[in-house]
Amino acid sequence: MSSPSTRTTPCPTELDRQALQGTWEQIALEDSGIANPPDEHSAPGALTTIEGDQFRVMTLDGEVLLQGCFALDASTTPKSITWIDAIGADAGKRLPASYTLDDEHFVFIAADEGMPRPTHFSTTPGQTMRTFVRRS
């Protein structure tokens, strides 16, 4: 029988994975240094749902714009996330990214496959940064 003092605290990566669960709305996009360009992976009102290590981006009409999985590592500085899209032009590619997360906001900056993981939250060619606010 374990006592409360012997329970283990979840690691930072698991805490962030738990904190990401739910529905997020994208409120800003920067791609290769351009703010809010046209984007095939989002639409006005589209919501990103994160369940476990899976994500899905859907329009208000239920159209799936993007889906896939991710892996977090909160032990790096900045924290890292690797996205693997299941559909679209980047399907199957490992997209290295960095992220910040608090109760209400999630920001990530991702690079194209084969590029180094971004370490600054400002894009250069081949990088995309998305900012989200929690909806549920």
Domain boundaries, the chain: 9-36+43-134
Res. 4: pLDDT tops 70: no
Identify the CA nearest to 18 among candidates 50, 62, 48, 57: 50
Bridge partners of 132, per DSSP, are 26, 106
How many residues are recorded in the chain? 136
Tens of pLDDT, residues 33-81? 999 998 888 888 899 999 999 999 999 999 999 999 999 999 999 999 9
Place of tokens 């989002």: 42
Q: State percent of the chain over pLDDT 90.
A: 86
Q: How far is CA 13 from CA 25, 63, 80, 98, 133, in A?
A: 22, 31, 10, 13, 20
Cβ pair 23, 48 in contact under 8 A? yes
pLDDT of residue 44: 81
Neighbours of 50 (CB within 10 A): 18
pLDDT tens for 96-117 read 999 999 999 999 999 999 999 9
What is the model's pLDDT at position 33? 96
Top CATH class of 9-36+43-134 equals mainly beta
Q: What is the mean pLDDT of the chain?
A: 94
State the pLDDT confidence band at 5, using cuts at 50, 70 and 90. Answer: low
pTM over 0.85: yes
